[in-house]
A and B are shown apart, each in its own frame.
Chain A
């Protein structure tokens, strides 16, 4: 607790109590949820069922990508399944929030390279949409080449960076 918040550090308070209070106040719901999930998955008795199985699944995901890259130089996908939602809108539905990462997490699982480029504004709400490019492990330069070509093509189509066309945030339309 040398950095940031420190709660309950009064005379006679034990280190443990100061740590408890600081974490209670300092960590948000999502952080606490993840700490508890992670701790649970690594606990003896549950390790094999969760962490152990997850490691095996991760290997399968890696193999899946390896197979896919025998057929294609790079893989592409949307970066997120939806455009941005409002702050707090899904705070009570963590699973819906986790789903937002569904397209980017596989890249982390497989240990390969991935990048996101702004690719346009959605017809429905006019918000920016990301375009993901994925390349095999240690083939980052391929990913950057594709990204650079795409960026150049989009820029010339738009005539200006996408940011200039995006709606102004903060309530103003």
Chain B
């Protein structure tokens, strides 16, 4: 029996819980000096500590603690004056120590929240997602099990292990259960991860690339009958590698749970793996026999007791929340939400903001970065940020157009020149000899020439058929090598033809 989503939410209330793992972008690993650069040859970024050779001792990465505190502060958490690392014991080859250094009952940040907004049938609505804890740990190595039907370690012919990732600083952000989202649970989940990603990017503490695994989300979902306060059994879905997948995974699990419950079956408490192609989850390992990690305080590390003054210093440096910042910009610039979205997606918001700060009109700045410059970046198959044009250049170009020293068309040539490395806008203008033909006499000469060449068209305009003027204006612009102001040409042309 297949249920529709509407059937599910008419009967059940979803209860969400989200665990997000974030790889920090520190230069070295959490407990040793190894490099953290992504994509290196396997096992080239390892040392006795992250390979767990006998006698090796860990040392905490101060920068990682700083980043974690910043994350906690940005998520409105309390920073614990005293916190400890703990050993999480499990036996699997991706952790050569046979335990992961993590935090257990004394995490560094607790009790925060993130407010997210989503569009509902009743308009924009805000949901508060409470954060239970933010703690530090180390990432595991990567394993690839070759041979065997399942791709798992059991039944594999052999396994390949890459410990470059083992020991990379990882921060886990765990929400409390999020009740009361009703049918909007999938959207709330997506909005939360999206907001979190923006906040982390704003802090500059992680690359937050879901597709590369530097931000990973596990979605816990359970259902309960509407009106009931008894929580249902939850499943935990891993391998959710995009924002869209977060939404799909939650929706898919809600439907799967409801189908089981309606059939009188039991939801099994287990880890499931999201499959990008089908949008469904498949069963991973069961958590029925509760995993027992036998946590205990890590004896090789001293407790983390951040100085209150240091925490306050970090708090002072937390940037405005990206979503609020955007809202403020959107109001100040008076741009529609869609345009804001376009700028965010093209990753030009910051650069547009910088251009506006240099005096450019917001609409003009936006249109340059999002239009012509984006197009040139695409053409060159490069990121806008890697082009050699700066907000200062664009602001200068906008100013030249405003002063009438450049037409839009000429300005495009200047942009191209700057990107080609010919110098500042002023240098490009002088080197290329670009200038607006302001001399009405020269324009009139061109107009007369064009009207003579295209007498038939000119006659149409003379007789009041104004749309025909476009072709003549185009020809005049061509005649003046694009250096004329099209508006002035139109004015003169129409005057010349008695209109």
Minimal Cβ-Cβ distance residue in B for A2? B53
Contact with A along B273-307 (1 / 0, CB 8 A): 00000000000000000101011100000000000
Which A residues are in CB contact (< 8 Å) with B93?
Answer: 15
Once the chains bind, are A44 and B296 in contact (CB under 8 Å)?
no
Which B residues are in CB contact (< 8 Å) with A42?
Answer: 89, 294-296
A interface size (C-beta, 8 A): 9
Q: Tell yes or no: A39 within 8 A of B by CB.
A: yes
From the candidates B54, B153, B154, B292, name the one contacting A43 in the complex (CB within 8 A). Answer: B292
Once the chains bind, are A39 and B294 in contact (CB under 8 Å)?
yes
Which B residues are in CB contact (< 8 Å) with A3?
Answer: 54
Contact with B along A34-51 (1 / 0, CB 8 A): 000001001110010001
Once the chains bind, are B292 and A44 in contact (CB under 8 Å)?
yes
How distant is B46 from chain A, measured CB to nearest CB, in Å? 14
Which A residues are in CB contact (< 8 Å) with B54?
Answer: 3
Q: Which secondary structure dominates where chain B touches chain A?
A: loop
Minimal Cβ-Cβ distance residue in B for A19? B91
Minimal Cβ-Cβ distance residue in A for B291? A44
Compute how far the CA of A3 lies from the CA of B51 in the bound complex, rounded to whole angstroms.
14
How distant is B92 from chain A, measured CB to nearest CB, in Å? 11
Compute how far the CA of A84 lies from the CA of B153 in the bound complex, rounded to whole angstroms.
48
Which A residues are in CB contact (< 8 Å) with B290?
Answer: 44
Contact with A along B56-76 (1 / 0, CB 8 A): 000000000000000000000
Contact with A along B220-253 (1 / 0, CB 8 A): 0000000000000000000000000000000000
Minimal Cβ-Cβ distance residue in B for A43? B292
Compute how far the CA of A44 lies from the CA of B153 in the bound complex, rounded to whole angstroms.
26
Minimal Cβ-Cβ distance residue in A for B154? A14
Minimal Cβ-Cβ distance residue in A for B155? A14
Q: Which of A14, A42, A43, A51 has the largest count of B CB atoms less than 10 A from its CB?
A: A42
Contact with B along A82-114 (1 / 0, CB 8 A): 000000000000000000000000000000000
Compute how far the CA of A44 lies from the CA of B294 in the bound complex, rounded to whole angstroms.
7
Compute how far the CA of A3 lies from the CA of B54 in the bound complex, rounded to whole angstroms.
9
Compute how far the CA of A40 lies from the CA of B101 in the bound complex, rounded to whole angstroms.
20
Compute how far the CA of A44 lies from the CA of B290 in the bound complex, rounded to whole angstroms.
9
Which A residues are in CB contact (< 8 Å) with B295?
Answer: 42
Compute how far the CA of A47 lies from the CA of B89 in the bound complex, rounded to whole angstroms.
14
Q: Which of B154, B294, B296 has the largest count of A CB atoms less than 10 A from its CB?
A: B294
Compute how far the CA of A14 lies from the CA of B54 in the bound complex, rounded to whole angstroms.
24
Compute how far the CA of A62 lies from the CA of B429 in the bound complex, rounded to whole angstroms.
79
Minimal Cβ-Cβ distance residue in B for A42? B294
Which B residues are in CB contact (< 8 Å) with A39?
Answer: 294
How distant is B88 from chain A, measured CB to nearest CB, in Å? 11
**Which parts of A1-25 form the interface with B (CB within 8 Å)?**
3, 14-15
Compute how far the CA of A3 lies from the CA of B294 in the bound complex, rounded to whole angstroms.
26
Minimal Cβ-Cβ distance residue in A for B89? A42
How distant is B182 from chain A, measured CB to nearest CB, in Å? 34
Which B residues are in CB contact (< 8 Å) with A43?
Answer: 292, 294
Compute how far the CA of A39 lies from the CA of B293 in the bound complex, rounded to whole angstroms.
10
Which A residues are in CB contact (< 8 Å) with B296?
Answer: 42, 51
Which A residues are in CB contact (< 8 Å) with B153?
Answer: 15
Contact with B along A42-76 (1 / 0, CB 8 A): 11100100010000000000000000000000000
Which A residues are in CB contact (< 8 Å) with B89?
Answer: 42
Compute how far the CA of A39 lies from the CA of B54 in the bound complex, rounded to whole angstroms.
21
Compute how far the CA of A42 lies from the CA of B90 in the bound complex, rounded to whole angstroms.
13
**Which parts of B16-74 form the interface with A (CB within 8 Å)?**
54
Compute how far the CA of A39 lies from the CA of B154 in the bound complex, rounded to whole angstroms.
24
Minimal Cβ-Cβ distance residue in A for B51? A2
Which B residues are in CB contact (< 8 Å) with A15?
Answer: 93, 153
Which A residues are in CB contact (< 8 Å) with B292?
Answer: 43-44
Compute how far the CA of A15 lies from the CA of B157 in the bound complex, rounded to whole angstroms.
11
How distant is B281 from chain A, measured CB to nearest CB, in Å? 26
How distant is A65 from chain B, measured CB to nearest CB, in Å? 19
Which B residues are in CB contact (< 8 Å) with A44?
Answer: 290, 292, 294
Q: Which of B93, B290, B296 has the largest count of A CB atoms less than 10 A from its CB?
A: B296
How distant is B52 from chain A, measured CB to nearest CB, in Å? 11
Contact with A along B133-170 (1 / 0, CB 8 A): 00000000000000000000110000000000000000
Q: What are 12 A-B pairs at a CB distance below 8 A?
A: A14-B154, A15-B93, A15-B153, A39-B294, A42-B89, A42-B294, A42-B295, A42-B296, A43-B292, A43-B294, A44-B292, A47-B294
Closest 7 CB pairs of A and B: A42-B294, A44-B292, A43-B292, A42-B296, A43-B294, A44-B290, A51-B296
> Which A positions have Cβ atoms within 8 angstroms of B?
3, 14-15, 39, 42-44, 47, 51
> Which B positions have Cβ atoms within 8 angstroms of A?
54, 89, 93, 153-154, 290, 292, 294-296
Given contacts A15-B153, A39-B294, list 12 more A-B pairs with CB under 8 A: A14-B154, A15-B93, A42-B89, A42-B294, A42-B295, A42-B296, A43-B292, A43-B294, A44-B290, A44-B292, A44-B294, A47-B294
